[in-house]
C-alpha cells in the first residue's frame, strides 16, 4: 500500500463480477457497476439482504476473486498486478475477519499460537517480545490471559470472535474487513462485540469495512453506509444523513424494518427479491418499488452523486422533507 495517506485505501471503479451459471450458458452479475472509495480511518458498512453481493464485493476487495470488469486500486496500485513485495504489504495492511470465525482458526493451535502466527509471519516483533505482544492483544479485545492455552473448540462463540479480532489486530493493519462478524450471537454478546469493534475503530484510526444484513448494526458501528441491492450500491453516504433522510426507496423500505431486516420484510417490501439471473428491465428494484413510474422499466439508473457525498442509483430519488 502506498504511504500517501491522502489517497483512498481502496478505489473501486465500475467493478463487475459475473459468474457463469447453467454450465456456462449464461451468467449472473453478482456485482454490477460498483463505485466505491474507502479513505484512511473511515468506517463503512455494506448493508443488504442475503444475495445482494456483499461477500462477493469483499472477496474482490481482498483480491480473492478477480473482477470481470472494472478496476480495483489499492492506494495507487492495481490490485490484480501487484508485485510480490506489494502483495506482502497488502496482506499485512488489510486484515480479514471471516464470516465463519471458528472455522477460520486452526483447531490444532492454542490462542497464544494463533495470535503469534501473524506477528511472526510479518516479522512485526522480535521473538522475545512476542509473548508480551500476545498478552497486549488479549487485553485489547477484553480476553483474560488465562485463555492463552485454550483451543478454539474450548471457547464460546463470543470468545472466538474476539480471538479473530485480536488476530486481525496482530497484523497492525490499516483496514479491517469483517463479514457478518456478529451474526448468530446472543444479543448481549453481540452488543459487547460491537462496542469493542467501535471503540477499536474510533481509537486506533484503522479503517473498517463491515458487512452486515442488519441496518441497526451498520448504523451503530459505521460512519458511512453503502446499501446494496442485487449487485449494485443503490445508496451510499454518511450514515447519519441516510438515516435522517433516505433518498432511495429501497433504503426507506429497509428502514421501516429497522433495526432488523433479516426476518420477513412483508410489511415494508412487496414481493420477493428477484433472482440475479432474471433481473427486471430498467431499474432492478422496480418490481418492489412503491415509487416506480413508467420510465423505471426502460432505464437502468446508475450510481450517481446526488448532494455532496450521497450516491444514489434511482431515477426519482426521494425528496428531502423541508
Ligand atoms: N462462486 C459463485 N458462483 C455462482 N454464483 C455465485 C458465486 N458466489 C456468489 N454467487 C451469487 O452471487 C450473488 C451474490 O452473492 P453474495 O456475494 O454471497 O451475497 P451476500 O453476501 O450479500 O449474501 C448470489 O446470487 C449468489 O448466489
Ligand atoms: S428508479 Fe424507479 S423503480 Fe428504481 S428505485 Fe427509483 S423510483 Fe423505484
Ligand atoms: Mg455473505
Q: Are strands 232-238 and 77-78 parallel, antiparallel or unpaired?
A: unpaired
Task: Look up residue 221 and give its three cell numbers.
Answer: 458501528
The pLDDT confidence band at residue 103, using thresholds 50, 70 and 90, is confident
CA distances 253 to 85, 87, 249, 295, Å, are 46, 41, 6, 21
Strand partners for 78: 73
The pLDDT confidence band at residue 58, using thresholds 50, 70 and 90, is very high
Residue for cell digits 450510481? 303
Report the atom number in ligand 1 closest to the C-alpha of 21.
4
Distance (Å, rounded) from C-alpha 45 to C-alpha 168? 18
Please tell me the predicted confidence (pLDDT) of residue 63: 94
| In-domain check, residue 296 | yes
| In-domain check, residue 261 | yes
Q: What is the number of domains present in the chain? A: 1
Report the atom number in ligand 2 closest to the C-alpha of 234.
5
| Average pLDDT of the residues of the chain | 90
| In-domain check, residue 59 | yes
Q: What is the pTM of this model?
A: 0.91
| In-domain check, residue 320 | no
| In-domain check, residue 234 | yes
CA distances 134 to 31, 123, 163, Å, are 38, 14, 11
| In-domain check, residue 317 | no
| Cα 257 to ligand 3 centroid, rounded to whole Å | 20
Please tell me the predicted confidence (pLDDT) of residue 59: 94
| Cα 313 to ligand 2 centroid, rounded to whole Å | 8
Q: Are the C-beta atoms of 54 and 179 separated by less than 8 Å?
A: yes
> Looking at the predicted structure, is the pLDDT value of residue 205 above 80?
yes
Evaluate: CB of 281 within 6 angstroms of ligand 1. Answer: no
Q: What is the pLDDT of residues 180-201, one digit of tens each?
A: 877 777 888 888 888 999 999 8
> Looking at the predicted structure, is the pLDDT value of residue 267 above 80?
no
| Cα 55 to ligand 1 centroid, rounded to whole Å | 7
Distance (Å, rounded) from C-alpha 18 to C-alpha 65? 11
> Looking at the predicted structure, is the pLDDT value of residue 119 above 80?
yes
- φ/ψ of 210, rounded to 5, equals -120, 120
Q: Supply the range of the domain harboring residue 115.
A: 10-312
Residue 243: name the closest of 234, 256, 231, 233 by CA.
256
Which of 234, 248, 282, 316 to mutate to test ligand 2, by most ligand atoms within 8 A of the CB atom? 316
Burial per residue of 212-249, b for 16 or more beta-carbon CB atoms within 10 angstroms, e otherwise: bbbbbbbbbbbbbbbbbbbbbbbbbbebebbeeebbbb
Instruction: Give the number of the ligand closest to the Cα of residue 53.
Output: 1
The pLDDT confidence band at residue 33, using thresholds 50, 70 and 90, is very high
Q: What is the CATH number of the domain that holds 258?
A: 3.40.50.300
| In-domain check, residue 5 | no
Evaluate: CB of 276 within 6 angstroms of ligand 1. Answer: yes
Distance (Å, rounded) from C-alpha 314 to C-alpha 322? 20
* Residue identifier of the C-alpha nearest atom 5 of ligand 2: 314
Report the atom number in ligand 2 closest to the C-alpha of 295.
2
**Preceding peptide of 136 cis, ω within 30°:** no
84-88, 216-220, 288-292 — which is least confidently predicted?
216-220
Looking at residue 110, the DSSP 8-state letter turns out to be B
| In-domain check, residue 268 | yes
Ligand 2 site residues (CB inside 6 A) read 249, 283, 285-286, 289, 291-292, 296, 301, 314-316
Judging by beta carbons within 10 Å of its beta carbon (0-12, 13-18, 19+), is residue 280 exposed, middle or buried?
middle
Instruction: Give the number of the ligand closest to the Cα of residue 231.
Output: 1
What is the rounded average pLDDT of the residues 84-105?
Answer: 89
285: Cβ contacts below 8 Å, ≥ 6 apart: 229, 230, 234, 249, 250, 314
> Looking at the predicted structure, is the pLDDT value of residue 266 above 50?
no
Amino acid at each position: 500500500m502506498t504511504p500517501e495517506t491522502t489517497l483512498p485505501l481502496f478505489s473501486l471503479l465500475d467493478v463487475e463480477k459475473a459468474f457463469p451459471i447453467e454450465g456456462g450458458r449464461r451468467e449472473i452479475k453478482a456485482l454490477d457497476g460498483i463505485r466505491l472509495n474507502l479513505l484512511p480511518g473511515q468506517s463503512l458498512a455494506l448493508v443488504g439482504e442475503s444475495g445482494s453481493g456483499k461477500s462477493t464485493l469483499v472477496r474482490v476487495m481482498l483480491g480473492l476473486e478477480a473482477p470481470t470488469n472494472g478496476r480495483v486500486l489499492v492506494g495507487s496500485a492495481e490490485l490484480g498486478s501487484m508485485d510480490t513485495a506489494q502483495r506482502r504489504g497488502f496482506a499485512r495492511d488489510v486484515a480479514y475477519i471471516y464470516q465463519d470465525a471458528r472455522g477460520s482458526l486452526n483447531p490444532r493451535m492454542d490462542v497464544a499460537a494463533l495470535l503469534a502466527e501473524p506477528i511472526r509471519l510479518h516479522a512485526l516483533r522480535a521473538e522475545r517480545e512476542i509473548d508480551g505482544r500476545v498478552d497486549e492483544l488479549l487485553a485489547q479485545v477484553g480476553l483474560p490471559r488465562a485463555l492463552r492455552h485454550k483451543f478454539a473448540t474450548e471457547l464460546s462463540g463470543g470468545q472466538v470472535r474476539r480471538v479473530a479480532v485480536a488476530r486481525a489486530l496482530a497484523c497492525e493493519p490499516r483496514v479491517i474487513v469483517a463479514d457478518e462478524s456478529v451474526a448468530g450471537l446472543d444479543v448481549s454478546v453481540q452488543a459487547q462485540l460491537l462496542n469493542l469493534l467501535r471503540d477499536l475503530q474510533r481509537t486506533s484510526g484503522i479503517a473498517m469495512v463491515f458487512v452486515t444484513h442488519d441496518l441497526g448494526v451498520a448504523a451503530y458501528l459505521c460512519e458511512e453506509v453503502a446499501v446494496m441491492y442485487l449487485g449494485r450500491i443503490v445508496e451510499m453516504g454518511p450514515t447519519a444523513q441516510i438515516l435522517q433522510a433516505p433518498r432511495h426507496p429501497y433504503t426507506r423500505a429497509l428502514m421501516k424494518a429497522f433495526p432488523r431486516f433479516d426476518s420477513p420484510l412483508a410489511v415494508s417490501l412487496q414481493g420477493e427479491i428477484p433472482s440475479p439471473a432474471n433481473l427486471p428491465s430498467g431499474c432492478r428494484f422496480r418490481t418492489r418499488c412503491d415509487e416506480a413510474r413508467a420510465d423505471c422499466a426502460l432505464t437502468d439508473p446508475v450510481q450517481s452523486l446526488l448532494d455532496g457525498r450521497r450516491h444514489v442509483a434511482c431515477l426519482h430519488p426521494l425528496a428531502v422533507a423541508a
